[in-house]
Amino acid sequence: MNTHVRDQFRELWHEVAYVEFTSPVSFGTADVVSAGAITYPGFAIMIEFFAPGWTSSSTAAQTDIRLFDGATNLGRIAFVAGGAGAAAGLFLYGRRRLTPSAASHTYKINAQGTAGSTIQAGAGGAGVLLPGFIRIMQKGA
C-alpha cells in the first residue's frame, strides 16, 4: 500500500487556488490578480497566469508581468513588447514552478506597462473575452 497508494499520491498535483479577473488592466503599475493568503506545507507548486488578451497601440509599448509573494518581487514571469497598432494583440500564459517555505504566502500578479499597453480580460459570453486567472497547483498530499 505504501508503494502503490501512498507514494503514488505524493506524485500527484492538485489545485490549491484559482482566482479570476474580469476587467482590463491598463498601463502603469497595478496588481492584476491575487491568489490570496494560503498556508503551504513546503512542497513544490506551479503558479500559472493567463490573460486572454494583451493589446498595444504603439510599437514602443511593452509590459512586464511580475510575480509577487506579498510585497516581494520574485521576478518577471512574462515580457511582451511591440505591436503595430490598436488591433495588435495576443494572449498571455506563463507559469513558474517553485517550492515555498512552509508558511503563509500570498502570490499575486502585478503588471508594469508603458503607455499604450493593456492586459485584457472580460466576463466571457458571446463575443466577450473570458476571464484571466492565477492558478496554483501543488504536488503532494
Partner 1 sequence: MTRWWDPRDWVNGERITSPLLNKYVRDAFRSTWHEVSYTEFTAPVNATAGGADVVSSGASTYLPYPTVAEFYAPGCDTAVKLHLHDGATDLGILAFVSVAGLREIVIDVEREFTPTAGSHTFKVVAYGSAGSVQAGAGGSGVLFPGHLRILQRGPV
C-alpha cell at 11: 506524485
What x-and-dash track marks residues 108-137 binding partner 1 by CB under 8 A?
------------------------------
- Applying CB under 8 A, among 32, 67, 111, 134 the residue interacting with partner 1 is 67
Q: Does 99 bind partner 1 (CB under 8 A)?
A: no
What x-and-dash track marks residues 8-47 binding partner 1 by CB under 8 A?
x--xxx----------------------------------
- Applying CB under 8 A, among 28, 31, 36, 93 the residue interacting with partner 1 is 93
Phi, psi at residue 94, to the nearest 5°? -150, 160
Nearer of residues 39 and 73 to partner 1, judged by Cβ: 73
b/e string for 50-85 if b means 16 or more Cβ within 10 A?
bbbbbbbbbeebbbbbbbbbeeeeeeebbebeebee
C-alpha cell at 2: 505504501
CA end-to-end distance (rounded Å), the chain = 15
Structural contact between residues 20 and 122, judged by C-beta atoms closer than 8 angstroms: no
Residues that bind partner 1 in the complex, under the rule CB under 8 A: 4-5, 7-8, 11-13, 59, 62, 65, 67, 72-85, 88, 90, 92-97, 139
